[in-house]
Amino acid sequence: MNRKQLVVVVIVILLIAVGLAASMGTFLATTPTKEATYTAPASAVRAPLGTTATSDTIALRLNGVSDASNRATRDTWVKFNNDSANITYRMSLTPPSGERYLIANVTVKNVKSTAVHFSDTAFAVLTANNTAYYSNYAVCNQNCSRALENRTLSAGFTSDLYVLFAVPTGTTADKVVYTASNPPIVMSAV
Amino acid sequence: MCASHKSHKGRWIALAALGIVLAALLFPMIDGLSATGFLGDKTYLVVLQDNSEIRGTGGLISVVGVLTIHNGHIAQVHYYYSHTSKELQTFVPLDGPESFMTFFNVDSARLFDSNNQYDFASFAPKMQSDWHNTTGQQVDGVIGLDFTAAQAILNITGPITASGDVITSRNVFHRLEYYSATNKGDRMADVLSSLTYSAFTLVADASVPQKLALYNTLRTLANEKHFFIYPEVGPLLQNADGQNQSRAPNADFISVVETNLGNGKSDFGIGRAIDYSVQLQPDGSAVSNLTLTYTNGDWWSSDLFAEAVVPHGATLLAMYNSTDQLIGPQVTYNENFTVFSSRFILQPYSTTRITYLYTLPDRVYENGIGSHYDLNVIKQGGIDRYTLNASVQLPAGAELIHAENVGSNLVFTDDAHVSVVYR
């Protein structure tokens, strides 16, 4: 191989290396967050906003979804969190850059005559394309917070919950789903 | 010299260059293979630090795991929860820092609460030795990660299920905070265990781009001090941590180390700014005005202890603060640095400022180009971001040649370097 050929080979190798590095850099810089998805089964109970849907053990009504920066929502959240039997955890309502906090106001009722399992962690906000944002934390009044803590609703239990979801900035809730009942409950948020 | 001799010499040089390149590639690889248990099993302590309750090394120690790796796979993993594990509840002697021990008049702490050092690199060898003294178990190293790291790793691995809950990068932070605050150590250990297996599965089974994405994430986390490995693994995964940076001679530095004194998971609701104004004197000394600003965006008050670590020889001239709920300043010295410490309350939705005015000897050095002033701002592990407002006033008559990172509202997620050259 003469010097001219060597120079050409070196240049080609360098170009390939630069191209690979650039495309890898672009890939790494744009690696998207792996979000969860949820597709409700055909058997899911569905309810429009503000109406009650009943499943095997519980009935749920979505009263609305608002941003945590909403003054009234924030004040209620703070009151519930302060009233909570478990005041050892206060949750900051300042979202990190790139995210917003949505708070769903849900009324929950035990429809059985015995205690039933219930977990606020089974709530998720769904977007129109079924991206699921599972709940971060939930608060409710003093009587209810112990039930949340124990994940058990006593017979006759009914209360409002505030359930918080972290979603990317610009995301709006299409539905709120409760995945732990049989069948799941899908409530329209709009 | 004849042509054949020239050619032989060229070959030897080429061979030597190739040898150097191969060695440079192989040594880290051997280091990496050794660290991942391919050259004999390796056992690590995995320390999960809750960085919404900040501590010197990055956050309150919530869970500690013992992880054994064999040929790149998990051979065994067991997690201990801080509040229930007798090992982590054991009292151990503190070996510093003096600023903390003097302020609180303490010389021992429970093992899970003994991470009061200024950085992880100082804490890790002590943790390794304390663990050995407490349990009799020898570990090869200490891996530290915080809730931000767990969040970033879940970005790559995707959602996991732990204790029946779906954990995603969007909710892991609050779930861990809640588990930590309410003593649900079993659930926290479940999350960390699932995350550990998920990350190792990704390393073993994922596509090359996914592996690279995970590697890139770990490097970024290491640079931003949310992920630590002690001892460091070759040059591939090195923590900044203020230990391995090349420093300009006599460089000025600021390292603010905070401890949340138990008013909840507040640190991600607190905005932090460092305002630093330095006036360089003709003799190379400096007069510094350091203001720490805390903006509490939370709806409850926060109790903070802040240590401002500055160069040896600093002399405090005055201190101002915007709150009357403050204890301090305490000034401590050693051969490497001076520390100004204060404890104060941040009221809900309010701003607190603390200013230290001090002098510094010999902060400017000369070389052929001119006079140099360098400032290293060392970010505390676990802190997400801070705003730096830096201003450098030159001696009378001096002419600025070059300035870097001087200005207002510079936001950093890692260490910052301010540099000024003048003549």
> What are the contacts of B24-28 at 24+ separation with CB within 8 A?
B27/B234, B28/B233, B28/B234, B28/B235, B28/B236
Residue-wise pLDDT tens for chain A (190 aa)? Answer: 667 777 666 676 666 665 565 555 555 555 667 899 999 999 999 999 999 999 999 999 999 999 999 999 999 999 999 887 666 789 989 898 899 999 999 999 999 999 999 999 999 999 999 999 999 999 999 889 889 989 999 999 999 999 999 999 999 999 999 999 999 999 999 9
pLDDT at B245: 44
Q: Could you write out the three-class secondary structure of B131-167?
A: HHHHHCCCCCEEEEEEHHHHHHHHHHHCCEEECCEEE
Of chain B residues 300-359, which have a CB less than 8 A from chain A? 300
pLDDT at B344: 95
User: How far apart are the C-alpha atoms of B130 and B137, rounded to whole Å?
Assistant: 10
Q: How far is B412 from chain A (nearest CA, A)?
A: 13
Cβ density class A111-145: b for 16+ within 10 Å, e for less: beeeebebbbbbbbbbbeeebbbbbbbbbbbeebb
Query: Amino acid identity, residue A49?
Result: L
Domain that holds residue A22: 1-31
Output the six-digit token pair for A75: 């004040």
pLDDT at B4: 63
Residues A106, A121 within the same domain = yes
User: How far apart are the C-alpha atoms of A63 and B278, rounded to whole Å?
Assistant: 56
Residues A81, A161 within the same domain = yes
pLDDT at B91: 97
Identify any residues that bridge with A54 across adjacent strands, giving them in sequence order: A59
Residues A75, A162 within the same domain = yes
pTM metric for this prediction: 0.88
Which of A90, A163, A177, A181 should be substituted to probe chain B, the one whose Cβ sees the most B Cβ atoms within 10 Å? A90
All domains in chain B, ordered by first residue: 35-230 (3.40.630.190), 252-422 (2.60.40)
| ipTM of the shown complex | 0.86
Residues A58, A18 within the same domain = no
Residues A27, A88 within the same domain = no
Residues A21, A53 within the same domain = no
Q: Do A167 and B164 touch (CB under 8 A)?
A: no
Residues A173, A132 within the same domain = yes
Q: Scanning the structure block, which residue is given the tokens 């600003």?
A: B293
Q: Choose among B155, B171, B216: nearest Cβ to A135.
A: B171
Q: What is the mean pLDDT of each run of 10 residues along chain B (423 residues)?
A: 67 80 68 70 94 95 94 90 94 94 96 95 96 96 96 93 94 93 89 91 83 90 95 60 54 96 85 97 96 94 96 96 90 93 95 97 87 96 97 96 96 96 95
pLDDT at B13: 82
pLDDT at B265: 87
Residues A139, A52 within the same domain = yes
Q: How far apart are the first and last CA of chain A?
A: 71
Q: Do A24 and B212 touch (CB under 8 A)?
A: yes
The predicted-structure confidence for B2-16, as pLDDT tens digits, reads as follows 556 667 777 788 788
Sign for the CA dihedral angle at B72, B77, B80, B86 comes to: negative
Q: Do A33 and B268 touch (CB under 8 A)?
A: no
Residues A11, A102 within the same domain = no
Residues A25, A86 within the same domain = no
Q: Are strands A52-54 and A58-67 parallel, antiparallel or unpaired?
A: antiparallel
* Cβ–Cβ under 8 Å, residues B273 and B386: yes
* Cβ–Cβ under 8 Å, residues A36 and B155: no
Spacing of C-alpha A169 from chain mean position:
13
Which of B299, B302, B383 should be substituted to probe chain A, the one whose Cβ sees the most A Cβ atoms within 10 Å? B299
Residues A137, A48 within the same domain = yes
Output the six-digit token pair for B167: 């954990």
pLDDT at B86: 95
Integer CA distances (angstroms), B204 to A82, A115, B197, B198, B292, in order: 46, 44, 10, 10, 45
- Number of folded domains in chain A? 2
Residues A19, A91 within the same domain = no
Q: Give me the phi and psi of B120, to 5 degrees please.
A: -65, -35
